[in-house]
Each structure stands twice: as structure tokens, then as C-alpha cells.
């Protein structure tokens, strides 16, 4: 289903408009928003052909999943962005895919988002009896996408601090599993943010960037700084979680080494004693020591002295 909102300059009002009733040439002071969220593939193609969108842009716009991208033709600009739709970083069910095709008068949007609140925020703000600038709508999309990450990252700072305290005093495998899940999610959203940061970074240094048609250099720099800050935050949190993992593994390895040291000391002491017991446990007929009245007690005393001497030696050497 195609949803069209058309601003008529004659009446200065917005109205729902069937595609068949659209004027062949849209007046300069008219505005049009076409919502393709629930449109079929055939309906999408109908709209794209109606506005003569090139095949390359049409293909990228129609895809369900596409990395963030900025591209343009003579009249229309394609902007693809990804927002964060999950409640926190404990799971990653998929990004909010925001596909936009826009000109000075027309905005064509297709948004895939499983978060109703974020989906509502990603709707252009239509003011009754007032025309809107397409650039303002696009700016709203950009700021909403960046805000979808920022809120989660700010909340995650407190949770990570708690994780650091827990891992310091009572780290366990359950917490390690949670940390590894967080790292996986942060790595995925870091890629999305890197793409989007590069879009605005390139626009700052390209003289003919499509974004310069609607936005000033100051606005583009602001977009870039927002996504650069988000990208830096995910890098920082990922590195801090990696430090927690390495610290936990180092602590666990040290604990294992301590246990192995105790087992080694015990083994070192009992191996000679086992050797002696093994010798006198052999069933040879001629063993002179067996005829000695004090042989049993002599061997026990010798074994005890050997064990104690080993412990004293380890203590002197600082191995125990």
C-alpha cells in the first residue's frame, strides 16, 4: 500500500492523494511525501518509474538490507541509514533500515523497523496549513538515527561500570558470556556507524556532494561530529570490554597456575616416597632389609624426613 501526503499550494493544506491524481509536474512550492513502508515490490517500482529514478538507485533503494550509502542522480538523492532498534545491547535482532529518495519537492521513504517507538519517530513532521522543507525532514531522519544509538550508549556506560566491579570481585563464566554478547553487538553497530560517519566525512571534503544541495557545511559537520562521537564511544566500550575479558582470563590463568603449583609440590614430595614404597613392595624372596627388626620403622622415619625436608626446601626457595 502506497501512502501519499501532498501539500497543495492553492489551498495551503496537506491531503492524502492517490497516485493517479498527482499532477504530472509538481509545482515548485508543492511538497510530496510518499511512504512505501507497506508497499509491494510492484508498487515500489511504479513509484520509482513515475519519478524516473535510475536503475542503480532504484535497486539500492528497494533492497531490504543495504549498508549506509549516499548517491545521487540529476534530481534525486539516495540516502540509506541504519538506526538501532533494540532496547539495549544484550541482543541484536537487526537494524532499523531507513531508505530515502528525495529532491527539493519530493521525499520517498521506506523504513523497516521492529521498534514501534522508533518507527513513529522516523515519520516526517507534517504541520497543517504549512509547507515543509524536504531538507528539514531529511535532517529529522538523520538526527533520529543518531539519537537511537546515543541513548543506548549513554545507558550502557552505567551497566559497564557495574560489570567492571563484578568482574573485579566475583567474575564468573556467566558474566563472561554477557560480556562476549555485548562485544558482538558493539562490533556490529560499530560497522554501521563507521559507514554513516564516512558519508558525512566525505561530504565535508567533496565540492559537489549531494548533501550540499540541501545542507550547509556547518550542518554537515554537525552530522559528522554526532556519528564520529558515537563511533568513538563504541570503540571505547568495545576496548574496555576486551580489557575485562583479558583481565578475567589472566586472573583465571593465575588461579590455575596456583593450583598447579600446589599439585606439583605434592607430587614432588610423594613421588620419592612412592618409589621407596614400590621397592619394598616387590615380591622378591631375598631382600635383606626385610629381616631387620627395625626396618619398618627405619623406612617410615626416612620417608617422613624426606617429605619434611622437601617442604623445608620449597619454603626456603620461596616456591611455597
Q: What is the pLDDT of residue 161?
A: 84
Q: Show the 3-state SS of the chain.
A: CCEEEEEECCCCEEEECCHHHCCCCCCCCCEEEEECCCCCHHHHHHHHHHCCCCHHHHHHHHCCCCCCEEEECCCCEEEEEEEECCCCCCCCCCEEEEEEEECCCEEEEEEECCCHHHHHHCCCCCCCCCCCCHHHHHHHHHHHHHHHHHHHHHHHHHHHHHHHHHHHHHCCHHHHHHHHHHHHHHHHHHHHHHHHHHHHHHHHHCCCCHHHHCCCHHHHHHHHHHHHHHHHHHHHHHHHHHHHHHHHHHHHHHHHHHHHHHHHHHHHHHHHHHHHHHHHCCCCCCCHHHHCCCHHHHHHHHHHHHHHHHHHHHHHHCCC
| Contact of 84 with 189, CB cutoff 8 Å | yes
Does residue 94 come out as left (phi exceeding 0), alpha (psi in the -120 to 50 range) or beta? left
Closest C-alpha among 47, 50, 61, 75 to residue 111:
61
Long-range contacts at 75-80 (CB < 8 A, ≥ 24 apart): 75/51, 75/103, 76/51, 76/101, 76/102, 76/103, 76/106, 77/101, 77/102, 77/103, 77/210, 77/211, 77/213, 77/214, 79/138, 79/141, 79/199
Identify the bridge partners of residue 98 per DSSP, sorted by sequence position: 81, 111
Question: Which residues, 6+ apart, have CB-to-CB distance to 249 below 8 Å?
Answer: none
Q: What is the pLDDT of residue 141?
A: 92
The single residue listed with the C-alpha cell 530515502 is 100
| Strands lying side by side in the sheet with 69-72 | 13-16, 3-8, 31-35, 106-112, 95-102, 77-84, 69-72
Which regions in the chain score pLDDT beneath 50? Answer: none
Q: What is the pLDDT of residue 143?
A: 93
**CA–CA distance, 125 with 92 (Å, rounded to integer):** 29
Q: What is the pLDDT of residues 183-221, one digit of tens each?
A: 999 999 999 999 999 999 988 888 777 887 788 889 999
**CA–CA distance, 182 with 160 (Å, rounded to integer):** 10
Q: What is the pLDDT of residue 230?
A: 95
Q: Which three cell numbers stand for residue 239?
A: 576496548
**CA–CA distance, 124 with 85 (Å, rounded to integer):** 18
Q: What is the pLDDT of residue 131?
A: 65
The single residue listed with the C-alpha cell 541482543 is 91
Amino acid at each position: 500500500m502506497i501512502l501519499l501526503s501532498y501539500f497543495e499550494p492553492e489551498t495551503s493544506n496537506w491531503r492524502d492523494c492517490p497516485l493517479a491524481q498527482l499532477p504530472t509536474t509538481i509545482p515548485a512550492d508543492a511538497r510530496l511525501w510518499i511512504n512505501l513502508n507497506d508497499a509491494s515490490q510492484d508498487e515500489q517500482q511504479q513509484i520509482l518509474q513515475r519519478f524516473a529514478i535510475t536503475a542503480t538507485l532504484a535497486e539500492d533503494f528497494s533492497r531490504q538490507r543495504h549498508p549506509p550509502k549516499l548517491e545521487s542522480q540529476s534530481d534525486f538523492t539516495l540516502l540509506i541509514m541504519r538506526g538501532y532498534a533494540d532496547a539495549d545491547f544484550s541482543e541484536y535482532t537487526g537494524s532499523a533500515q531507513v531508505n530515502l529518495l528525495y529532491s527539493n519537492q519530493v521525499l520517498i521513504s521506506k523504513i523497516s523497523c521492529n521498534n514501534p517507538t522508533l518507527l513513529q519517530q522516523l515519520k516526517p513532521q507534517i504541520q497543517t496549513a504549512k509547507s515543509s522543507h524536504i531538507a528539514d525532514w531529511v535532517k529529522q531522519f538523520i538526527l533520529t538515527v543518531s539519537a537511537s544509538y546515543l541513548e543506548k550508549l549513554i545507558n550502557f556506560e552505567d551497566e559497564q561500570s557495574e560489570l567492571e566491579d563484578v568482574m573485579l570481585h566475583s567474575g564468573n563464566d556467566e558474566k563472561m558470556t554477557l560480556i562476549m554478547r555485548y562485544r558482538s553487538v558493539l562490533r556490529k553497530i560499530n560497522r554501521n556507524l563507521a559507514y554513516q560517519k564516512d558519508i558525512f566525512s566525505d561530504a565535508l571534503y567533496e565540492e559537489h556532494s549531494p548533501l550540499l544541495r540541501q545542507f550547509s557545511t556547518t550542518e554537515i559537520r554537525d552530522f559528522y561530529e554526532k556519528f564520529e562521537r558515537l563511533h568513538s564511544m563504541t570503540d571505547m566500550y568495545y576496548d574496555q570490554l576486551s580489557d575485562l575479558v583479558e583481565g578475567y582470563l589472566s586472573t583465571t590463568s593465575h588461579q590455575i597456575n596456583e593450583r598447579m603449583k600446589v599439585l606439583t609440590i605434592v607430587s614432588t614430595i610423594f613421588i620419592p616416597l612412592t618409589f621407596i614404597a614400590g621397592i619394598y613392595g616387590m615380591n622378591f624372596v631375598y631382600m635383606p632389609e626385610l629381616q631387620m627388626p627395625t626396618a619398618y620403622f627405619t623406612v617410615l622415619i626416612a620417608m617422613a624426613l624426606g617429605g619434611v625436608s622437601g617442604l623445608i626446601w620449597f619454603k626456603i626457595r620461596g616456591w611455597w
